[in-house]
A = this chain, B = another copy of it.
Amino acid sequence: MNANDEPVIGSNVTMGKGVVIEPGVVIGDDVSIGHYAVIKRDTIIGKGVQIGDLVVLGKMPAGNNKMAMKPAQELRPLIIGDGVKIGAHVVIYRGVMIEQDVLIGDLASIRERVAIGKSSIIGRAVTVEPKTVIGNRVTIQTASYITSDMVIEDEVFIGPCCSTSNDKYMGCGNYKHQGPIIKRRARIGNNAALLPGVIIGEEAVVGAGAVVTKDVANEQTVVGNPARPIHKKQERS
């Protein structure tokens, strides 16, 4: 370990018991870190960040023979913006960029090559797969699943327990994966399922429990399995 690898820690940083700070970590001023937090090498933490107990930040991806993983050294460090709040038992990988004032709930996990825009909320127990882009002021509620290769634009609202997928042939094809694209201010009800590659239009509404197999137009509301449009006057009250 050379001198450049020594952690740099700002002023007024508080740490719980047994915190692990690996080489190359940079921590801003006024940060608080919970007990037994593990901050992996090179992670960059902004000012005023609050980090819960028992988290793992900056994890390197593993893989097995089925999956060709990019070598970890190609991933940029995990970057956490000013004012971000991170719950307990959270796991965030190397190669993630989290902008300022994001809130990440307990037991959430976020894989590599993900970007999260400012003031967004990633709820408790949410899982985010690699290579997904999440905009500003997005809300993803508890226990929703965000697959890889998704785009979630600004101010989207995703209710609890929603599910998404990116693999039309369920592990059988040799082709590009594509997750859903959710346009600006669309809203997704709880336990909805979005199929690979569907586009949810701006300000569209997907009802609770809907199974979305086709694109949804801007401002359209869909419900059911498979999801179909409803007229405004038939909207559930």
Determine whether A99 belongs to the interface, using a CB cutoff of 8 Å to chain B: no
Q: Give CA–CA (A139, B159) in the complex, Å.
A: 24
Q: Which residue of B lies closest to A209 (CB)?
A: B211
A13-61 contacts to B, CB under 8 A, are: 16-18, 20, 34-36, 38, 50, 52-54, 56, 59
Does B91 contact A88, Cβ atoms closer than 8 Å? yes
The minimal Cβ–Cβ distance linking A78 to chain B, given in whole angstroms, is 14
**A 68-112 binary contact with B (CB < 8 Å = 1; else 0):** 000000000000000001011101000000000111001101000
Using Cβ atoms and an 8 Å threshold, which residues of chain B touch A226? 209, 223-224, 236
Q: Which residue of B lies closest to A139 (CB)?
A: B171
Determine whether A132 belongs to the interface, using a CB cutoff of 8 Å to chain B: no
- A residues sitting closer than 8 Å to B (CB atoms) are 16-18, 20, 34-36, 38, 50, 52-54, 56, 59, 62-67, 85, 87-89, 91, 101-103, 106-107, 109, 119, 121, 124-125, 127, 129, 137, 139, 142-143, 145, 147, 157, 159-161, 163-165, 167, 170-172, 187-191, 193, 195, 205, 207-211, 213, 223-226, 236
The minimal Cβ–Cβ distance linking A132 to chain B, given in whole angstroms, is 13
Q: Which residue of B lies closest to A237 (CB)?
A: B168
Q: Which residue of B lies closest to A158 (CB)?
A: B170
Among B20, B50, B159, point to the contact of A170 (Cβ < 8 A).
B159
Does B165 contact A189, Cβ atoms closer than 8 Å? yes
Does B208 contact A165, Cβ atoms closer than 8 Å? yes
Q: Give CA–CA (A205, B62) in the complex, Å.
A: 29
Q: Which residue of B lies closest to A160 (CB)?
A: B145
Q: Give CA–CA (A226, B164) in the complex, Å.
A: 20
Q: List 11 A-B contacts (CB under 8 A).
A: A17-B18, A54-B89, A127-B143, A143-B143, A157-B172, A165-B208, A191-B191, A193-B209, A209-B211, A209-B226, A224-B225
Does B163 contact A190, Cβ atoms closer than 8 Å? yes
Using Cβ atoms and an 8 Å threshold, which residues of chain B touch A129? 142
Q: Give CA–CA (A87, B50) in the complex, Å.
A: 24
Does A142 contact B119, Cβ atoms closer than 8 Å? no
Q: Give CA–CA (A164, B66) in the complex, Å.
A: 25
- Contacts A18-B36, A64-B119, A65-B101 known; 17 new A-B pairs at CB < 8 A: A50-B62, A53-B59, A56-B106, A64-B85, A66-B137, A124-B127, A125-B125, A143-B143, A143-B163, A159-B167, A163-B190, A163-B209, A170-B189, A189-B193, A190-B195, A195-B236, A208-B213
